[in-house]
Amino acid sequence: MLSAFVRAFRTPDLRRKLLFTIGIMVIFRVGSFLPTPGVSYPNVQVCIDATAGSNDLLGLVNLFSGGALLQLSVFALGIMPYITASIIIQLLRVVIPKFEELHREGQSGTAKLTQYTRYLTIALAILQSTTIITIARSGQLFQGCPVDVIPDDSWVTLLIMVITMTAGTGLIMWLGELITERGVGNGMSLLIFTSIAASFPTAMWSIASGDNGPAKFIVVLAIVVLVIGLVVFVEQSQRRIPVQYAKRMVGRRMYGGSSTYIPIKINMAGVIPVIFASSLLAVPGLVAQFGDPAAGWVQWVSRYLADPASPYHIAIYVVLIIFFCYFYTAITFNPDEVADNMKKYGGFIPGIRAGRPTAEYLDYVITRITAPGSIYLALVALIPTIAFIVLEVGTNIPFGGSSILIVVGVGLETVKQIESQLQQRHYEGFLR
C-alpha cells in the first residue's frame, strides 16, 4: 500500500490533486483555531479546562467541527449546517413534488437542488450561530466557568460574531466543493473525516496518561481495531440482484442482451440514523438544562435520558437508530422508480415480471436487508460506548463507534477513487 502511495505521488496529475486536497484540509484545520472577533481566547481555554464542555447535542456539533465549536472559532459551526441542509432537501423531495421533478431532470435539476442547499445552509448557519452565541452568553456552553468567554456583549460585537461564523460556514462549503471539483474524493466527506480524525490523537493520549493508562490504552486500541474490521467487512458487503436486458433492434443495430446487477448495501442509510438518533435523544437533556434543577422532571430526564449509561437511554437509542434506518432508506431508495427505469430500458429480474411485481420484490429485499443493517449500525454505535463506559474513559472518545464508521467509510471511498485513477494510468493500485 505504501508503494502504491509512492506511485500515486509520482503521477503528476494525481500528485497535484492529492497535494491540493491536503492543502485544503490544512486550511480547514487552521481556521478551526482562529478565534471569532469578540471572544476571549484565554478565557475559553480556562473554561474548557475547568468544565466538562457541553451537552450531548453541542458535543455532536463539536465533533463535526473538529473541536472548533468549544473554541468559538471562525469555523465553530463546521460542516454541520450543510449536512442538515442536505438532509432537509432530501426529505423535502417526498413532500414537495417540484423537488422530485428537479431530481429527475438530471444534471440541471441537481444543480438547482444544490443551489437551494447552499441557501438553506447559510440560513441554518445564521440560526445556529445565533443560538451558540446566546448559549455562550448565558453560561450554558461552559457550566460553572468562573470567567466570561464574551467580555463585550454589545449588539455590535454579537452581530459581528454571527456574521463571522456564518461566513466561516460559507467558506467551509466552498472549500468542500473545491476538493470535489479539483481534488480527490468527496470534499464535504473529507472535511468531516478531517474533523473527526483530528480529535483521535488527543483522546488516545488522555487515555494513556490517565490511571492504569497503558492497560486501558491497549484495550481501547483493540476495541477500535475490532470495530474497524467489522465496519470494513459490512460496508464492503452487498446484495447483488441480477438484472437481464432483452435484445432489441434500433435501426440496424442490436442493443441490450447484457447482464448486470443492482448492488444493495447492507447499510444503505450510512451514519445518518445515528446522527438523527443522537440529536433527537439529546434534545430532552438540552431542554432540562433550562429548567429548575430541583424539579422532578428535570431530575428524571437527567437520570434516565441524559445519562448515556442508563438502560433507558441505550434502549431508546437503539430503537431510534433502527427506526431511522428504515425511514431514511425508504426516502433515498424508491423501488417504484427503479422498477420503472428498468422497464423503460427493457430490463427485468429473472423470474420476476417487470413493473409492479419488480417494485414489490425490490421492496421485499430492501426490508429484509435493512433489518441486519440497522442492528449492525446500533451495535457499532453501542459496543465502543459501553466498553468505554466500563473502562471509565467514555468522555475521551467522541461519539463512540459512529465516528469510526464515518472515518472508515470516507477512507474506503477515497481509496477507491485513488485506485480507479491509478488503474486508468496502468499503475498497480491499493487493492491487490
User: DSSP alpha helices (H): ranges in 11-54?
Assistant: 12-31, 41-50
Q: Could you tell me if residue 56 is inside a domain? A: yes
Q: Could you tell me if residue 81 is inside a domain? A: yes
Q: Could you tell me if residue 236 is inside a domain? A: no
Rg (CA), the chain: 24
CA pair distance 388, 310, nearest whole angstrom: 14
CA pair distance 372, 352, nearest whole angstrom: 24
CA pair distance 243, 3, nearest whole angstrom: 38
Burial of 167 (0-12, 13-18, 19+ CB in 10 A): middle
Q: Which three cell numbers stand for residue 29?
A: 484545520
CA pair distance 98, 277, nearest whole angstrom: 29
What is the predicted pLDDT for the residue at 53?
A: 43
* 8 Å CB contact between 165 and 132: yes
Enclosing domain of residue 137: 32-183
For the chain, helix, strand, coil in percent to 5 are 70, 5, 25
Q: What angle do CA 242, 268, 68 make, to 5 degrees?
A: 150
Q: Could you tell me if residue 51 is inside a domain? A: yes
* 8 Å CB contact between 149 and 38: no
**The amino acid at 76:** A
- How many domains is the chain partitioned into structurally? 1
Residue 379 CA, distance from chain mean position: 17
What is the predicted pLDDT for the residue at 121?
A: 92
* 8 Å CB contact between 355 and 231: no
Q: Cell 430490463 sits at which residue?
A: 347
Cβ neighbours for 146, distance < 8 A, ≥ 6 positions apart: 46, 50
Q: Which of 215, 222, 224, 229 is nearest to 398 (CA)?
A: 224
Q: Could you tell me if residue 42 is inside a domain? A: yes
Burial code (b: 16+ CB inside 10 Å, e: under 16) for 372-404 equals ebbebbbbbbbbbbbbbbebebbebbbbbbbbb
Helix (H) or strand (E) holding 358: helix 356-390
The tens-digit pLDDT sequence of the chain (432 residues) is 556 567 777 777 888 888 898 999 889 888 888 888 888 777 777 776 665 444 455 556 666 666 667 777 888 888 888 888 888 888 888 788 888 888 777 778 888 888 999 999 999 999 888 888 887 787 777 766 767 778 777 888 889 989 999 999 999 999 988 998 888 888 888 888 888 887 777 777 777 776 666 777 787 778 778 888 888 888 888 888 888 877 666 666 666 567 788 888 888 887 778 877 877 777 777 677 666 677 777 778 777 777 777 788 888 888 988 998 998 888 888 888 888 888 887 788 888 888 888 889 999 999 999 998 889 888 888 876 676 667 665 544 544 667 777 788 788 888 878 877 777 765 454 455
**DSSP line for 285-334:** HHHHTTS-TTSHHHHHHHHHTS-TTSHHHHHHHHHHHHHHHHHHHHHH--
Q: Strand 238-245's sheet: what is its strand order?
A: 259-265, 238-245, 347-348
Q: Which of 289, 319, 391, 312 is nearest to 56 (CA)?
A: 289
Q: Could you tell me if residue 310 is inside a domain? A: no
3-class SS at 240? strand
CA pair distance 165, 130, nearest whole angstrom: 9
* 8 Å CB contact between 259 and 30: no
Q: Could you tell me if residue 18 is inside a domain? A: no
* 8 Å CB contact between 348 and 358: yes
Cβ neighbours for 85, distance < 8 A, ≥ 6 positions apart: 117, 118, 120, 121, 124
First-residue to last-residue Cα distance in the chain: 9
What is the predicted pLDDT for the residue at 290?
A: 67
Could you tell me how many residues make up the chain? 432
CA pair distance 77, 171, nearest whole angstrom: 11
User: DSSP alpha helices (H): ranges in 209-310?
Assistant: 213-236, 272-288, 296-304
CA pair distance 55, 283, nearest whole angstrom: 10
Cβ neighbours for 294, distance < 8 A, ≥ 6 positions apart: none
Could you tell me the pTM of the whole model? Answer: 0.76
Q: Could you tell me if residue 48 is inside a domain? A: yes
CA pair distance 185, 202, nearest whole angstrom: 26
**DSSP line for 359-387:** HHHHHHHHHHHHHHHHHHHHHHHHHHHHH
